[in-house]
A and B are shown apart, each in its own frame.
Chain A
């Protein structure tokens, strides 16, 4: 038998349950303007996962649109995982909303699969308190167990679907290949006419490996009702675990996440040098009051160091916001990562973009080294945001907070869709002074040029004094008035901008001047 009998608890629509939205209210969670989760009420109106936000809104005008917040989802899910700790220590969280554990021991203890499922369901429903539903699926592999849990929702068997031992391949056979969630592979299979898992599983294994490689072989095993990797019954060698002592104990979650990233790098290096990969990683956190919190996360060789750091952060967030009795009282003293279920690394099939992944790894490591030299905030990456002035159209976020290998939509040119009337037209200035350089702009009579409340200049600018030798204004345009955030007295800013071309011995000099509180300054230079 190639799989471990697993019980999976699935909480549908978790992004919305975590946000506190009741199922009877139509709401969706979106990422980059695409729907990733819906409530039952939204589904009744025809909103489907994968639609664009506008399409969802056209189908259901009163739908509430929420931006997905993975941190919040995992934090709110921690109590659910913690509740199942009572049944077995090997509870594993795959994604927020999905938690699984092997049934062998607990099933015998509770007297059978049905009793176990009922127990699990009851424990979870106590934690959820009626805010969300839970479904339980039991099957011979974790992949099939998730699908069984999803099927339980439809077949209405009181939220539980148990696939009897040995019948998993038959259960999986009629399901579509899209459930494998490997779009590149699924595309090819569909074009070859293999639309069900049963049809795919019926192919000879050798042919699948020859055509699709290791990844295909893993998918083939999943479709046949086995686990992607044969279970490794050896205990992991103790020296594979990596530990970091934090002295002084870390009080902030961020510092801990930063340490977790460095640890994860070390773990990956250790595993790689032995040609190994792990299916799960246990993150163990110990405080200086001797409280320990451990959580198993699914890894399967697919988690980057940044992803492990994220999970460590989520785990801490969840622990800190749990019930007062189980909350930690001290600072974090020790962080340990233990690889679980270590298997020989079969290597990843590098596609055309294989070199890219390696390059991104190198870049990420270099970034980490520079952060160690200069500090976490010293290395940042840009993200577009809306604004009128040249400095307001970009925001810099710490590089450690993003996955550099991801295609980051926030850097696309079309990311900011809102029009920002009064924005200085393109081309943008190449030099954006961190603080405007104070200057004086005078008209032909020597008086400072002012801008009236209606955005009219008192007189044409003639000379710019300061920030270098006095220069005459050859051409100018504006003003572009910007009266921003007038509704908030603390952040209200009234500015006016002027484009000028100054005559110098070396040709033209073009600047963007800004007037605020009666003081002119060079905001940016077109260099």
Chain B
């Protein structure tokens, strides 16, 4: 590198814009506010999703990040339903699908993606070495990338910042012999390092009758009549 090149790169470093703390915040979808710390996520965090409905939650989480010109990479999850994800706002023109790297190369591939992508969705082929996990976490924090574990964080040696577990679900619209799957009610529980204390729960439509993620109003508690105490006239 010549003298001019060195000088130019030093100058570029000096005038690079300083990122404000507020730019590190990523607003989560409104329906997930109750289960996310301060209603959102931060760049550089690791998120794990698990349960029946986890991948749909992941799609809903990623959609707002792509909305502001962000890019997502899905690594080693060939079964990830992109059409379904697009129903939750996931942008298909801002996603790249990468084949599962062999275990020896997994860390190198994800590191290369973390450098440029705003969200990287992964399901490592085997348990990740603690050293690789530490390095990736540091790099993600430095580059402002979100790491989403689609396998619930099973293969990640560290505790994740936010863990979303999709609990029991109930589908509506399908009856024995007719109809079709229309809407589903789920219970989402938030745990993780950034949500200490009792896990937060929220009942959601995933998807609702309009096809979107939404907060589900609590259903009628019970259909059984509550016994009314009979006053004892004598007493």
Contacts and interface: CB of A to CB of B under 8 A. Distances in A.
Interface stretch (A39-47, A149-157, A392-400): A392-400
B82 A382 contact: yes
Interface string A460-494: 10000000000001111100000000000000000
Contacts of B108: 373
B216 to A, nearest CB: 14
A430 B92 contact: no
Given A370-B109, A508-B171, A429 B86 contact: no
21 contacts: A273-B1, A273-B5, A273-B9, A274-B4, A370-B109, A373-B109, A379-B96, A380-B96, A393-B83, A399-B96, A429-B81, A429-B84, A432-B80, A432-B81, A475-B174, A475-B176, A477-B174, A477-B179, A506-B168, A510-B171, A527-B55
A390 B78 CA distance: 13
A119 interface: no
A374 B109 CA distance: 8
Contacts of A365: 116
A104 interface: no
B199 to A, nearest CB: 16
Interface string B166-181: 0111110011111111
B219 to A, nearest CB: 14
A292 interface: no
Given A373-B101, A411-B93, A508-B169, A359 B177 contact: no
Contact of B112 (A273, A373, A404, A509): A373
Interface residues of B, number: 58
A527 B56 contact: yes
Interface residues of A, number: 61
Interface string A344-363: 00000000000110010011
Contact of B86 (A367, A413, A424): A413
A225 B182 CA distance: 64
Contacts of A355: 69
B157 interface: no
Contact of B181 (A411, A433, A501): A501
Interface in B188-218: 207, 211
B162 to A, nearest CB: 19
Interface string A394-426: 101001000010011001010000000000111
A274 B2 CA distance: 9
A125 B69 CA distance: 48
Given A373-B105, A477-B175, A501-B171, A427 B84 contact: yes
A366 to B, nearest CB: 4
Given A359-B116, A427-B181, A527-B54, 17 more contacts: A273-B9, A362-B115, A365-B116, A370-B113, A374-B101, A377-B99, A379-B97, A379-B98, A381-B96, A408-B93, A427-B84, A430-B56, A430-B84, A474-B176, A476-B174, A477-B178, A527-B53
B116 A475 contact: no
Contact of B116 (A362, A424, A426): A362
Interface in B82-134: 82-87, 91-93, 95-99, 101, 105, 108-109, 112-113, 115-117
B71 interface: yes
A477 B9 CA distance: 63
A374 B98 contact: yes
A378 interface: yes
A356 B5 CA distance: 25
B79 to A, nearest CB: 5
Nearest to B212: A427
B138 interface: no
A453 interface: no
A509 to B, nearest CB: 6
Given A382-B82, A407-B93, A366 B115 contact: yes
A510 B53 CA distance: 10
Interface centre among B97, B167, B171, B181 (most CB of A within 10 A): B181
Contacts of A382: 82, 92, 95, 97
Contacts of A407: 93
Contact of A434 (B79, B91, B92): B79
A507 interface: yes
Contacts of B69: 355-356, 359
A476 B113 contact: no
Contacts of A526: 171, 181, 184
Interface in A499-520: 499-501, 506-510
A432 B211 contact: no
Nearest to A375: B99
A205 interface: no
A148 B113 CA distance: 49
A227 to B, nearest CB: 27
Contact of A370 (B52, B54, B112, B207): B112
Contacts of A399: 96
A501 B170 CA distance: 9
A35 interface: no
Contact of A363 (B96, B98, B207): B96
Contacts of B109: 370, 373-374
Nearest to A415: B92
A403 B175 CA distance: 46
Nearest to A525: B52
A365 B115 CA distance: 10
B30 interface: no
A369 interface: yes
Contacts of B178: 477
B8 interface: yes
B136 interface: no
Given A366-B112, A507-B169, A411 B176 contact: no
A370 B79 CA distance: 20
B96 to A, nearest CB: 6
Contacts of B116: 359, 362-363, 365-366
A428 interface: yes
Given A430-B56, A475-B171, A510 B105 contact: no
A244 interface: no
B93 to A, nearest CB: 4
A524 interface: yes
A510 B174 contact: yes
Contacts of B52: 506-509, 525, 527
A509 B168 CA distance: 9
A366 B179 CA distance: 45
A242 to B, nearest CB: 16
Top 8 A-B residue pairs of the complex, sorted by shortest distance between their CB atoms: A507-B168, A366-B116, A411-B92, A428-B84, A362-B116, A411-B93, A475-B174, A378-B99
B59 interface: yes
Contacts of A425: 180
Nearest to B174: A475
